[in-house]
Structure 1
């Protein structure tokens, strides 16, 4: 199994168990994690913080991978995630994640997704 496939499997395990350890184990000592906030988390502690914060957005979440590719230096994953936000609202959103590889370890993780899915719908002020 290549690193991209191991990463996908570790993410699904992390989501099911609500424990980021399977993902953190895949990172290099100075690996980075970054999402749309552009805040960079470094190292194993940073990966732990990044994935713990990710899980903290949801009551439950499950990612399904629709496409992936694994090259010598990069892995790319397209996905759809479905679940329930902390406030009880259902969520479904799509995105793409990229891993930069250092051998069989994650040197950098970046993810891009439809952040509009996280915005609560405006209250209906017309009484309808």
Structure 2
């Protein structure tokens, strides 16, 4: 049986392929917390909003994992995501996600990533 890091990575890739956040939402506990650089959500409804917000940015997206690190109740996933934003711009960005879990349920998820990758070409030229 795969560990939580692998289960989470597989579920994220399934969510990205299908556009259905349920693949990920079912991994979260009712009292879960989800955070990234811009937003924080709580609970199962929050998990659904978090992943819907994630998916809504992209026409297509695919995350690949270079490292899956897991210890008792904690996991870290190092990843690179490539795809096309809704505005048609390509995107390629990297980040790290940390998961705290108990059994088969995620209680805390936090991800940090290269947010500069989301700037438009015009904003990059102006900066």
The residue number in structure 2 matching 1:50 is 50
Separation of aligned partners in 2, 1:78 and 1:117: 17
Q: 1:44 Cα deviation (Å)?
A: 0.8
Aligned length: 124
Relative to its length, the structure with more helix (as a share) is 2
In structure 2, the partner of 1:74 is 74
Q: Distance in 2 between matches of 1:101 and 1:109?
A: 9
Query: How far 1:122 moved relative to its partner?
Result: 2.5
- Post-superposition CA distance 1:34-88 (Å, at most 9, x none): 1001x32111110000000000000010000011111102100000000000000
Tell me how large the CA RMSD over aligned residues is.
1.3
CA distance in structure 1 between the aligned counterparts of 2:50 and 2:89, rounded to whole angstroms: 22
Scaled by the length of structure 2, what TM-score is found?
Answer: 0.93
Partner of 2:64: 64
Larger gyration radius, structure 1 or structure 2: 1
Structure 1 position 11 matched with structure 2 position 12: yes
For residue 121 of structure 2, give the secondary structure of its aligned residue in structure 1: coil
Give the alignment's TM-score, normalised by structure 1.
0.93
